[in-house]
């Protein structure tokens, strides 16, 4: 259970949700299943984010039911001293009522018995669509049991609705408690990056054989020493050319002086993710071509940061990034103006895509790619069409989300240079990304990951220290 946040906060969230279900609505929220890794061994358990958002409860085998009148019912593992000897403490339904401020709690073994009763005489049943395999069939089974009773005057819900819609909208805006946890997660991760940079340079100075997994171990050490439960996603530790593989993992490749290392890693703290990327020279000194591209990516990030403020659109930081990168690619000779034309042409034809093929950010929260619509809700009907210049596909555009205080997003431009015709050799295999996490504020944004340096000269001094 999360003890850092008051129980009343979860009750308030459930009340806000209940108010959106309709007076005769009911919402079903299972937590995540335990998953087997291999024989007798499970993956480390991680609760479901929606369930946790509404309960703060981290045990497996639990369901929450919320009804439109504001009643919350929890199903959880019953107390079982023998199982607790093997698997650890269970809260149990009796204690859950007080500890989680729910109205009622039952052992999970009663779920199939209680659910038809709870669903009877409701008009709408809400549950998260397309998240939990088999959930739709389970709900159908309970509804069939209610239907069998309609001849006795029971009403069976006629509507099924996606619970993700209201919950995503709630989760998109982080309250002060969430922002506080996210700041702490970001600080732990920033220190982990700084420590890893220093370790890398020191090990090379000492003549050691440095591998990507050594740096991964440093990150993990710092995450756990900082109190984080686990990484928020699989850490990317990519030496040299591996940085150009966007979803690379930490592996066995040697980390060599003269090459760059790209690390994309962030810890999860009390259910909230952080997401940081730094790219640094393994031995603490950028070469000329590395520095040229690094400074370009950083300038594009600065433009994106300046475009991140309440009232701007989610797409604005991306557009600002692309503008700087497009001009920079022409300036450094990665794109040839004789072939691709002006900076406007580079943007229009998406010629930069060869070197920058992802978006500049995403929502960040409990999930590293957090939920929340990227389209402004009041403008979903304002559809325009354009032809994608690279694929020729017709793309439907809707106005992107207007940023508001309390939204949290990443700002993560990059450049990835694979050898190709016309690409100057001095840039081959250079992959750079710089990623920070930002809380949108009224006047701009608050970068919460800057306890690790980002300027090339500051990274060099840290690594020499």
The residues annotated as belonging to the active site are 40, 247, 264, 275, 358, 362, 369, 412, 416, 433, 435
Residue whose CB is less far from Mn ion, 129 or 233: 233
Name the residues that contact ligand GLY, by CB under 6 A: 233, 264, 275, 362, 368, 412, 435
Smallest CA-to-CA distance from 143 within 26, 29, 280 is with 26
Question: ∠27-30-35 over CA atoms, to 5°?
Answer: 165
Q: Residue 463 CA to chain centroid, in angstroms?
A: 29
Smallest CA-to-CA distance from 365 within 233, 128, 173, 127 is with 173
Minimal distance, residue 326 CB to Mn ion, in Å: 22
Smallest CA-to-CA distance from 406 within 178, 101, 193 is with 178
Minimal distance, residue 318 CB to ligand GLY, in Å: 13
Minimal distance, residue 433 CB to Mn ion, in Å: 8
Residue whose CB is less far from ligand GLY, 26 or 236: 236
Question: ∠291-293-295 over CA atoms, to 5°?
Answer: 65
Residue whose CB is less far from Mn ion, 48 or 264: 264
Minimal distance, residue 410 CB to Mn ion, in Å: 4
Establish if 410 lies at the interface with Mn ion (CB under 5 A). Answer: yes
Residues whose CB falls within 8 Å of the CB of residue 465, separated by 6 or more in sequence, listed in order: 198
Minimal distance, residue 266 CB to ligand GLY, in Å: 7
Six token digits for residue 432: 């750079």
Binding site partner of 193, from Mn ion, ligand GLY, none, Cβ cut-off 5-8 A by kind: none
Residue whose CB is less far from ligand GLY, 162 or 251: 251
Residues whose CB falls within 8 Å of the CB of residue 47, separated by 6 or more in sequence, listed in order: 31, 32, 57, 58, 59, 60, 271
Binding site partner of 233, from ligand GLY, Mn ion, none, Cβ cut-off 5-8 A by kind: ligand GLY
Site string for Mn ion, 266-295 (x = CB under 5 A): ---------x--------------------
Establish if 321 lies at the interface with Mn ion (CB under 5 A). Answer: no
Pairing of strands 159-162, 230-231: unpaired
Binding site for Mn ion (CB under 5 A): 264, 275, 410, 435
């Amino acid at each position: 259970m999360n003890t850092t946040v008051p129980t009343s906060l979860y009750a308030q969230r459930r009340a806000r949700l209940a108010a959106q279900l309709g007076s005769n609505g009911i919402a079903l929220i299972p937590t995540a299943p335990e998953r087997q890794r291999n024989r007798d061994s499970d993956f480390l358990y991680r609760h479901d984010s929606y369930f946790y958002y509404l309960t703060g409860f981290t045990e497996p085998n639990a369901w929450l039911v919320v009804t439109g009148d504001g009643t919350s019912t929890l199903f959880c593992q019953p107390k079982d001293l023998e199982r607790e000897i093997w698997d650890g403490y269970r809260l149990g339904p009796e204690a859950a009522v007080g500890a989680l401020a729910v109205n009622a709690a039952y052992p999970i073994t009663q779920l199939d018995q209680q659910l038809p009763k709870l669903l009877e005489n409701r008009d709408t049943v809400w549950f998260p669509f397309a998240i939990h395999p088999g959930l739709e069939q389970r709900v159908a089974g309970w509804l069939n049991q209610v239907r069998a009773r309609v001849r006795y005057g029971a009403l069976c819900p006629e509507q099924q609705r996606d619970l993700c819609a209201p919950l995503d909208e709630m989760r998109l805006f982080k309250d002060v408690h969430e922002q506080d946890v996210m700041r702490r997660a970001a600080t732990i991760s920033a220190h982990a990056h700084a420590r890893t940079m220093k370790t890398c340079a020191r090990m090379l100075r000492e003549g050691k054989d440095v591998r990507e997994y050594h740096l991964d171990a440093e990150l993990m050490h710092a995450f756990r020493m900082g109190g984080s439960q686990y990484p928020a996603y699989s850490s990317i530790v990519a030496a040299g050319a591996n940085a150009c593989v966007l979803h690379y993992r930490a592996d066995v490749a040697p980390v060599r002086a003269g090459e760059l290392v790209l690390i994309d890693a962030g810890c999860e703290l009390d259910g909230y993710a952080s997401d940081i990327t730094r790219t640094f020279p393994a031995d603490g000194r950028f070469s000329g071509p590395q520095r040229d591209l690094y400074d370009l990516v950083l300038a594009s990030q600065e433009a994106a940061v300046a475009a991140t403020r309440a009232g701007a659109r989610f797409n604005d930081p991306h557009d600002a990034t692309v503008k700087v990168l497009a001009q920079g690619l022409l300036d450094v000779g990665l794109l040839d103006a004789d072939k691709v034309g002006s900076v406007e042409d580079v943007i229009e034809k998406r010629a930069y895509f060869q070197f920058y093929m992802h978006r500049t950010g995403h929502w960040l929260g409990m999930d590293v790619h957090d939920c929340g619509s990227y389209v402004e809700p009041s403008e979903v009907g304002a559809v325009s069409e354009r032809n994608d210049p690279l694929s020729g596909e017709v793309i439907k555009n809707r106005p992107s989300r207007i940023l508001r205080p309390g939204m949290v997003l990443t700002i993560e431009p990059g450049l990835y240079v694979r050898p190709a015709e016309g690409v100057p050799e001095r840039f081959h295999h250079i992959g750079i990304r710089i990623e920070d996490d930002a809380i949108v504020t009224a006047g701009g944004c608050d970068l919460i990951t800057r306890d690790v340096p980002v300027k090339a000269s500051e990274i060099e001094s840290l690594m020499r220290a």
